Amino acid sequence: MDIIEIFREEGEEKGFHAFLRRALASCYYQLKIYTSYRMNFALDLIDITISALIYYYIGLLVSPQDLAKLGYTPDYVAFALAGIALSRYIWTSVARLAHKMRHEISAGTFESLAAVDFDNFKGWLVGQILYGFTWSSTVFFITIFIGYSLGATFTRNPIFWLQALFIVLLTVLIHAGIGVMAAGMYIIHKQLETLLVLLTAVIEFFGGVLYPLSLLWNYPLLYYIAILIPFTHGLELFRRLIIDEIPLNNPMMIPHLLALLVFVPIIFLGFKVFEYYLYKAKKLGLVAAY
């Protein structure tokens, strides 16, 4: 059944069941589209493998002693691949929703979705977030597996991986809130791709994907910018859990955990901003404008 028909059927049905069905339909059809392009999937696997190998060889140039002096594991391969694995979620969380919105508007399908919408696109947005999380999780686990194959010293203790999973989910949800916000802005402003690419690059750079956060202590302005980004705290917690086996209740972890929790309201703010721009677009008759 076409996704538009599913959304139209649910127009008369309210409640959580209708919302869940719409969200799963949105996720399912996006996954179906992605998996139908087998060459693209194969190229993604090659990209992940090459990226892991690049940082494996970069690790040969990094002094383990210098890394240890900064308070991190001397294993740069584990350090870098943990950052890369988590950063894969950032593009799908922050930029992909706006990119998807551009595609729907330019293809003319957004107007059809708007015509049968009854929950301000919450079901559709959640479905797209689920799809992004599923795709990024696939990349995440492949990256970690390659890291293990290259000798990276990740923990094998399931307790720490469960705590790390909680941090991943929390970090992804917060950044998904930013993504929902960006998708709403796209309905009116259009052409935000350059801004979003810049935003994701800034998040990854200041988040310390490839270098220790403590390096920024010598540059106070850059350090304070870094700690104002939720991804910085999520990545710091994630690395300490799966590499150093430091639990979340450790005193050195609590400040980062509290800082990450402070950003939780962004999730709800994102949907409010989306509703505002959607209402404005409907009022001005800009739903189908590109």
Residues 221-276 have pLDDT tens digits of 888 889 999 999 999 999 999 999 999 999 999 999 999 999 999 999 999 998 88
Whether pTM > 0.85 for this model: the answer is no
> CA-CA-CA-CA torsion for 83, 89, 93, 94, nearest 10 degrees?
40
Number of domains in the chain: 1
Distance, CA of 223 to CA of 82 (rounded, Å):
21
DSSP label at 93? I
Is residue 140 assigned to a domain?
Answer: yes
Residues 65-98 have pLDDT tens digits of 877 887 788 888 888 888 888 888 887 777 777 7
* Average of per-residue pLDDT across 206-220: 83
Q: Evaluate whether 193 touches 91 at the Cβ level (below 8 Å).
A: no
Is residue 101 assigned to a domain?
Answer: yes
Distance, CA of 225 to CA of 84 (rounded, Å):
20
Question: Which two three-digit tokens encode residue 76?
Answer: 């740069």
Burial of 156 (0-12, 13-18, 19+ CB in 10 A): exposed
Distance, CA of 193 to CA of 134 (rounded, Å):
22
Could you tell me the residue range of the domain that residue 194 belongs to? 14-284
Q: Locate tokens 């106070």: which residue?
A: 220
- The CA-to-CA distance between both ends of the chain, in Å, stands at 28
Is residue 230 assigned to a domain?
Answer: yes
Query: Which residues 6+ apart lie within 8 Å of 81 measured at CB?
Result: 52, 55, 143, 144, 146, 147, 150, 152
Is residue 290 assigned to a domain?
Answer: no
Is residue 67 assigned to a domain?
Answer: yes
Is residue 1 assigned to a domain?
Answer: no
Is residue 4 assigned to a domain?
Answer: no
Which candidate, 67, 46, 92, 286, places its Cα nearest to that of 187? Answer: 286
Is residue 180 assigned to a domain?
Answer: yes
Question: Which two three-digit tokens encode residue 62?
Answer: 């990094």
Residues 89-145 have pLDDT tens digits of 887 777 777 777 777 777 666 766 766 666 777 888 888 888 888 888 888 888 888
